[in-house]
Chains A and B, each alone.
Chain A
Amino acid sequence: MSVLLIAEHNNKEVKPFTLNAITAASQMDGDVHVLLIGNNCGDVAKALSEMSAVKKVLHAEAAHYENYLAENFAPLVVKVSENYSHIVSSANTFGKNLMPRIAAHLDISQVSDITKVISPDTFIRPIYAGNAFATVKSTDTKKCITIRPTSFEPCETSGGSAPIEKIEATEEFTLSKFIKREEVKSDRPELGTARIVISGGRGMQNGENFKLIADIADKLNAAIGASRAAVDAGYISNEHQVGQTGKVVVPDLYIAVGISGAIQHLAGMKESKIIVAINKDGEAPIFSVADYGLEADLFEALPQFLEELNKLNSIQK
């Protein structure tokens, strides 16, 4: 049997987490087929077919597939799922929204957000905001799995020449309608895949002070993150939130500024390679996970930090 991987894309390009999901899928079974559902997304089909881990691309096009509504995608996935042992996607807002709809249609108990494939039916997944890891075995004949992207390496984007098979679209679900998407355009790296992340919390006090963070982010070519408290307070928009109900990041360097370190925030960043905490409260829980802790007023520390970075001859990109 083969694995059916549902590609996430924007009709022009493959979204990066699809590459991590392909790697995870290939650990369940070597025969990975990618299902591409979209509108005028021929370039995406071509890009997927060139990935060495991909053995076949199934390509469905329709106008109502333009905006990835789960209500439109799920019936098509269900229709093509018959010959597959696993259906896989990434556990980001795309996969989280879509996969349970597919699983319920197929009467399958989904396994969410896995961090490791032990065998084709056994997986490890975090529970309780990453305070415990469960090893679970799915007894359903077919598996519906979402994978935590940061736990799997991205697959190679070349070296393959998989056939592209056109498949017929399913009917439109007319009770749900896409209106608009407000994407915040940024020249900075994506939060989910950045090598360095610098995040601000409630200690930033207002949105303007995030400029101090942004200056350092520019210097380090880092993505900007935030605690839920900072997003709730309106200092910064929701797509920056790191944590249990936001994004999970695993950068080489995570710098937490004015973040106390609630369990829910730690869930989103404590697997980072090196963690730096800057906080004026020496007892803040964030220091318990920090490799380097600096007990200081961030309004003094951040300008100094930028100054010290400016003194360096070179900074890794």
Chain B
Amino acid sequence: MKILVAVKRVIDYNVQVRVKEDGTGVVTDNVKMSSNPPDDNAIEEAVKIKEAGKATEIIAITVGEEKSQETVRKALAVGADRGILIKTEGTVEPLAVAKALQKIVDKEKPDLVFMGKQAIDDDCNQTGQMLSALLNWPQATFASKIEIKDKILKVTREIDEGLETIEVNLPAIVTCDLRLNEPRYASLPNIMKAKKKPIEIFTAADLGIDITPRVQQIKVEEPPKRKAGIKVASVAELVSKLKNEAKVI
């Protein structure tokens, strides 16, 4: 079995994101970048499956600028066997990413595609579902548990009401929740080894797809600031404020 794992390079989850003064976007210069957190879960799950002897090859893929190779390298250091970069400039919308992934799926013919359930930068939560549609494959989104039974995958999904279990035939797309597993750290020797693993580079033109954005970003603004609150000295004062000042209880 071959597994394709899609990863994305995003602003690190610990960074307090700031909006650019001219309203054209958020500040990315000199800001720490990392892999999208649920994509780490996606890689981890693929590696676990391979370690269990159920997969033979893991390919890590990303769509983005040249530097996005760092994110692929990280996946290679954790256990992916080879990498693919679809090199792009500027904003690439989830639909375009899905089209790029579709081309690679057609070429590589994986049995499973894993990725994070959403990217923490644009918070779109679209790519996996879109790829499933383009391929007309089953989709198992927001997965917090996976069991492979021959050619069937049993997936527990986190939904608003609680948990849902579905079974999907392979090949299938799985989008991963943060609770799917505990991503490992790459060891230093594995980081060194990862530097020798191959990364193939394609452009959108190579794949014959149009990735022109369809949604124009008109402006980006700061959220409204909350006015500063107060500290109360006791529980009695808190309850009194809630009752008589805020009038919410």
A-to-B contact residues, CB < 8 Å: 69-71, 74, 92-94, 96-105, 107-113, 122, 126-140, 173, 175-184, 192, 196, 220, 228, 231-232, 237-239, 244-245, 247, 252-253, 263-264, 270, 273-276, 282, 287, 289-296, 301, 304-305, 308-309, 312, 315-316
Contact A109 B214 (CB under 8 A): yes
**B52 close to A (CB within 8 Å):** no
**B220 close to A (CB within 8 Å):** yes
| Given contact pairs A133-B220, A291-B246, A294-B232, a sample of 10 additional A-B residue pairs in the complex whose CB atoms are under 8 Å apart | A70-B139, A71-B138, A93-B160, A98-B129, A110-B126, A130-B223, A182-B164, A220-B249, A274-B242, A316-B248
Point out the residues of chain B lying under 8 angstroms from A308, CB to CB: 235-236, 238-239
Contact B95 A184 (CB under 8 A): no
Give the residues from 115 to 160 in chain B that come closer than 8 angstroms, CB to CB, to chain A. Answer: 117-118, 120-134, 137-142, 144, 154, 157-160
Chain B nearest CB: distance from A137 CB in Å?
A: 5
Point out the residues of chain A lying under 8 angstroms from B90, CB to CB: none
Q: Interface segment, B53-61, B106-114, B166-174, B187-195?
A: B166-174
Contact A275 B229 (CB under 8 A): yes
Point out the residues of chain A lying under 8 angstroms from B217, CB to CB: 134-136
Contact count A vs B, C-beta below 8 Å: 267
User: Given A96-B125, A253-B242, A289-B226, A192 and B160 touching (CB < 8 A)?
Assistant: yes
Contact B137 A175 (CB under 8 A): yes
Point out the residues of chain B lying under 8 angstroms from A244, CB to CB: 120, 123
- Closest residue of chain A to B131 (Cβ to Cβ) is A104
**B179 close to A (CB within 8 Å):** yes
Name, among A140, A290, A301, the residue most crowded by chain B CB atoms within 10 Å (CB to CB).
Answer: A290
What 0/1 readout, one digit per residue, does chain B (209-226) give for beta carbons within 8 Å of chain A?
000011111111111001
Name, among A74, A122, A238, the residue most crowded by chain B CB atoms within 10 Å (CB to CB).
Answer: A238
User: Given A129-B120, A274-B242, A103 and B230 touching (CB < 8 A)?
Assistant: no
Contact B118 A245 (CB under 8 A): yes
Point out the residues of chain A lying under 8 angstroms from B134, CB to CB: 104
User: Given A274-B246, A276-B242, A247 and B123 touching (CB < 8 A)?
Assistant: no
Chain B nearest CB: distance from A224 CB in Å?
A: 14
- Closest residue of chain B to A181 (Cβ to Cβ) is B164
Q: Interface segment, B10-18, B67-75, B76-84?
A: B10-18
Contact A294 B167 (CB under 8 A): no
Point out the residues of chain B lying under 8 angstroms from A294, CB to CB: 231-232, 234-235, 238
CA distance A134 to B166 in the complex (A): 35
Contact A245 B178 (CB under 8 A): yes
CA distance A173 to B137 in the complex (A): 9
Point out the residues of chain A lying under 8 angstroms from B129, CB to CB: 70, 96-101, 104
Chain B nearest CB: distance from A236 CB in Å?
A: 12
User: Given A132-B223, A181-B164, A274-B248, A137 and B216 touching (CB < 8 A)?
Assistant: yes
**B98 close to A (CB within 8 Å):** yes
- How many of chain B's residues have a CB under 8 angstroms from any CB in A? 83
Closest 8 CB pairs of A and B: A100-B129, A104-B130, A104-B133, A109-B214, A100-B126, A304-B235, A176-B138, A291-B229
Point out the residues of chain B lying under 8 angstroms from A264, CB to CB: 13, 120
Contact B242 A295 (CB under 8 A): no
**Consensus secondary structure, chain B interface:** mixed
**Consensus secondary structure, chain A interface:** mixed
CA distance A92 to B226 in the complex (A): 25
Contact A237 B162 (CB under 8 A): yes
Contact A97 B142 (CB under 8 A): yes
CA distance A182 to B163 in the complex (A): 5
Point out the residues of chain A lying under 8 angstroms from B159, CB to CB: 93-94, 181, 239
User: Given A100-B126, A239-B161, A138 and B215 touching (CB < 8 A)?
Assistant: yes
CA distance A192 to B236 in the complex (A): 29
Contact B123 A293 (CB under 8 A): no
User: Given A237-B162, A293-B231, A104 and B98 touching (CB < 8 A)?
Assistant: yes
User: Given A304-B235, A315-B249, A176 and B167 touching (CB < 8 A)?
Assistant: yes
CA distance A105 to B249 in the complex (A): 48
Point out the residues of chain A lying under 8 angstroms from B132, CB to CB: 71, 101
B166's contact among A133, A178, A196, A274, by CB below 8 Å, is which?
A178
A-B contact pairs, 21 of them (CB 8 A): A93-B142, A97-B141, A98-B129, A104-B130, A112-B123, A127-B123, A132-B19, A132-B26, A133-B223, A140-B215, A176-B169, A179-B165, A182-B162, A183-B161, A228-B178, A263-B13, A291-B230, A292-B238, A293-B231, A294-B232, A316-B249
